[in-house]
Amino acid sequence: MKGRRSLLLMLFGATLATACSRQVPDSEPATKAIPTYSASEFFETTSYGLVPAGGKAFSHDGRFILMNSDESGVFNAYTLPVSGEEPVQLTDSTDNAVFGESWFPEDNRILYTYDSGGNELNHVVVRELDGSYRDLTPGEDLKAGFLDWSDDGRSFYLVTTERNQRSFDVYRYSTADYERELVFENPGLSVGSISRDGRWLALDKPRTSADSDVYVVDLESDDKEAVLITEHEDNIAYGALGFTPDSRFLNYSTNEFGEFNQVWQYNLQSGEKSMLAKADWDVWYVSDSPGGRYRVTGVNADARTQVTLSDLATGKDFELPGLPPGDLNSIRFFPDDSMVTLIVNADNSPSNIHLVDLVTGTSRQLTNALNPAIDPAHLVRSTVIRYESFDGLEIPGILYKPHNTSPANPAPALVWVHGGPGGQSRKGYSATIQHLVNHGYAVLAANNRGSSGYGKTFYHLDDRRHGEEDLQDIVYARRYLETLDWIDGESVGVIGGSYGGYMVAAALAFEPEVFDVGINIFGVTNWVRTLESIPPWWEDFKESLYDEMGDPAIDAERHRRISPLFHAENIVKPLLVVQGANDPRVLQVESDELVAAVQANEVPVQYVVFPDEGHGFRKRENRIAASEAYLEFLDTYLRSEN
């Protein structure tokens, strides 16, 4: 859900995909020699993505799909013919990543966004019919984004922080000439979605990490007051998901009625509420197709997503035909509900775009992402496991076992820590993990306490305990690995990015003898500074952030206690640090100072800085360089321990 649940994940973690699970059997041990592939070969696999919710994935005539791809080495926008012909590149960036947001409803113009070197200060640009570009959100030090289209296609809505760098105001732009009108001056809430008739705006307010609200604004009213629709007592989380196509209802998620999120509907005229979807796991989303015939429901079920596609005309559920095993995500319909495009992703198969004709019941795969030099049979499928932590709490994890590993040929291993801290490691393709596993390293991606997807109690077990109990879950991940007879228990490292990078540094500083090496990828090392320097566009989340992590004005002593930088003299095991110079969330100085402190210990430390990246690496050449650095470091300092 937006707001509360995703706050620290957005700040210090990776974005979760919205996916649908189609069962993939666990991998069988290989019986023949498996060749090793280079990082370059893994990352020559092409990454594909579709437009976000609210964007139009199909061109007005249904002939093309707007997709994003790094085929050129940098993400750009492409047209993908539904006929199966080769895609055509629309944007020509060679440095900054470009992401297509939407087709225009009646011609082949597109909207796209870009930032500068990963600084996250996005601009929204229109690509005209003649191929020229026009920045719709010019200016310095602002962050902008696409929101949605009006029902009649004559206007679209963008958000921008140009007024004060903090609040996302909502503007309506004319499709014809791009003249704009301010429709909502945001007092400091998080913009959720806008109804297709342009009348209603949904806003989120994360008050604490456990408590949040949803507001609705009638944009046709004189005062445009944000009206609270989730008045409640105690700690309950609510988050706006989106309006129905007829603009009569707002779908929102809540954990009011148990451990897991349900989806409810709010009647915008009567104010009545009704339950729409529930499950034994978090219901991630419920959305209706543009024509209103189909409803898609996604449930986050134990690191997989189960999707139900319902035909509202017949009242029956059905499975999309002809799709390979894997997770489905980014499900986007043609406006008349006649066809749908989506992405299928599995452990051993990177994301590919598919087209399903809902009239004929046929489907077609439109892309082939995996580098043809790699045999899919050489990739590894993961297994969902559980292990006990120090206090008996059951910790979920995703385990990758290299081919041909056995008690006679044990593998060195890595504990992988996700970002967030409220993120979740999930089944699905990862070039980095497959590269490491292909070279003989087992990987256990641990979902330590505080991870999302396992109920609100589990999620809040790390509140104001970061670097303490959750760190012990990572320590006990190693102990679990040592019980497996095919693991070399003498060679176990820890790796993670963002908050996961923090956990790596914390493990080496506070449990210095547990892990044999650590790889810290743009991780927080000084919580005092990080919490005082969050980007201004996260201002509306500050109260919730401070509730979970602690207010620097009050809790600075604790922040120093859990910050690895102030205890770096304890680090005695080899360390690799990787950082983007333009990172606005975890500043480069965090990594600079940690590296200098560990060097002072006369401990092996390697440092890789990408001058053209931010919080996450988008350029293929940089992802290759990072993955090569991980493997070289591990081969030098972990495998040599055997």
Burial level of 199, CB count in 10 A (0-12/13-18/19+)? middle
Q: How confident is the model at residue 541 (pLDDT cuts 50, 70, 90)?
A: low
Does residue 310 sit in helix, strand or coil?
Answer: strand
Among 58, 49, 48, residue whose Cα is nearest residue 110? 58
Q: Token pair 């390697």 is at which residue?
A: 606
Phi, psi of 554 (to 5 degrees): -115, -40
| CB atoms closer than 10 angstroms to residue 282 | 27
Q: Please, are residues 121 and 143 in contact by the beta-carbon 8 Å criterion?
A: yes
Q: Domain tally for the chain?
A: 1
Q: What pLDDT sits at residue 640?
A: 53
Residue 261 within a domain: no
CA dist 640 and 642 (Å) reads: 5
| CB atoms closer than 10 angstroms to residue 641 | 13
Q: How confident is the model at residue 583 (pLDDT cuts 50, 70, 90)?
A: confident
Residue 216 within a domain: no
Residue 550 in this model has a pLDDT that exceeds 90: no
For residues 289-309, average pLDDT: 94
* Edge-to-edge strand list for the sheet holding 362-365: 19-22, 326-333, 339-346, 349-357, 362-365
Of 29-33, 482-486, 587-591, highest mean pLDDT: 482-486
Residue 248 within a domain: no
Residue 298 within a domain: no
- For 323-361, what is each residue's pLDDT tens digit? 999 999 999 999 999 999 999 999 999 999 999 999 999
- For 399-426, what is each residue's pLDDT tens digit? 999 999 999 999 999 999 999 888 999 9
Residue 440 in this model has a pLDDT that exceeds 80: yes
CA dist 415 and 515 (Å) reads: 9
Q: How confident is the model at residue 438 (pLDDT cuts 50, 70, 90)?
A: very high
Q: For residue 284, what are the CA distances in angstroms to 24, 216, 304, 541?
A: 21, 21, 11, 21
Q: Structure tokens of 138?
A: 């010019």
Domain with 515 in it? 376-527+568-641
Residue 633 CA from chain centroid, whole number: 27
CATH code of the domain covering residue 440: 3.40.50.1820
Tally DSSP H helices, then E strands, for the chain. Answer: 11, 37
Q: What pLDDT sits at residue 29?
A: 45
337: left (phi over 0), alpha (psi -120 to 50) or beta: left
Q: How confident is the model at residue 18 (pLDDT cuts 50, 70, 90)?
A: very low
Indicate the residue type of 166. R
Residue 197 in this model has a pLDDT that exceeds 60: yes
Q: How confident is the model at residue 21 (pLDDT cuts 50, 70, 90)?
A: very low
CA dist 193 and 199 (Å) reads: 11
List of residues 6+ apart from 567 with CB closer than 8 A: 509, 510
Phi, psi of 469 (to 5 degrees): -60, -40
Residue 9 in this model has a pLDDT that exceeds 50: no
Buried b (16+ CB within 10 A) or exposed e, 523-547: bbbbbbbbbeebbebbebbbebbbb
Residue 479 within a domain: yes
Indicate the residue type of 107. D
For residues 109-124, average pLDDT: 95
Phi, psi of 434 (to 5 degrees): -65, -35
What pairing do the DSSP bridges indicate for beta strands 442-446 and 411-417? parallel
Query: 179-183, 334-338, 391-395, 532-536: which has the minimum mean pLDDT?
Result: 532-536
Say what the pTM is. 0.91
Instruction: Give the percent of the chain with pLDDT over 90.
Output: 84
For residues 298-309, average pLDDT: 93
Q: Is the peptide bond before 536 cis (omega within 30 degrees of 0)?
A: no
Q: How confident is the model at residue 540 (pLDDT cuts 50, 70, 90)?
A: low
- For 238-297, what is each residue's pLDDT tens digit? 999 999 999 999 999 999 999 999 999 999 999 999 999 999 999 999 999 999 999 999
Q: Token pair 């339950």 is at which residue?
A: 275
Residue 99 within a domain: no
List of residues 6+ apart from 95 with CB closer than 8 A: 74, 117, 612
Indicate the residue type of 464. R
Average model confidence (pLDDT) across the chain: 92
User: Which carries the bigger pLDDT value, residue 583 or residue 255?
Assistant: 255
Residue 548 within a domain: no
Bridge partners of 204, per DSSP, are 190, 214
Instruction: Give the percent of the chain with pLDDT over 70.
Output: 94
Q: Structure tokens of 475?
A: 């320590």
Q: How would DSSP label each residue in 358-395?
A: TTTTEEEE----S-TTS-GGGS---EEEEEE-TTS-EE
Q: Token pair 């506070």 is at which residue?
A: 510
List of residues 6+ apart from 551 with CB closer than 8 A: none
- For 351-387, what is each residue's pLDDT tens digit? 999 999 999 999 999 999 999 999 999 999 999 999 9
Helix (H) or strand (E) holding 146: strand 144-149
Does residue 505 sit in helix, strand or coil?
Answer: helix
Residue 522 in this model has a pLDDT that exceeds 70: yes
Q: Please, are residues 148 and 158 in contact by the beta-carbon 8 Å criterion?
A: no
- For 218-236, what is each residue's pLDDT tens digit? 999 999 999 999 999 999 9
Among 172, 164, 217, 152, residue whose Cα is nearest residue 191? 217
For residues 496-522, average pLDDT: 97
Residue 627 within a domain: yes
| CB atoms closer than 10 angstroms to residue 513 | 9
Q: Structure tokens of 397?
A: 């994890």
What pairing do the DSSP bridges indicate for beta strands 383-388 and 123-127? unpaired
Q: What pLDDT sits at residue 538?
A: 67
Query: 28-42, 54-68, 325-339: which has the minimum mean pLDDT?
Result: 28-42
Q: Please, are residues 205 and 192 in contact by the beta-carbon 8 Å criterion?
A: no
Q: How confident is the model at residue 31 (pLDDT cuts 50, 70, 90)?
A: low
Q: How confident is the model at residue 547 (pLDDT cuts 50, 70, 90)?
A: confident
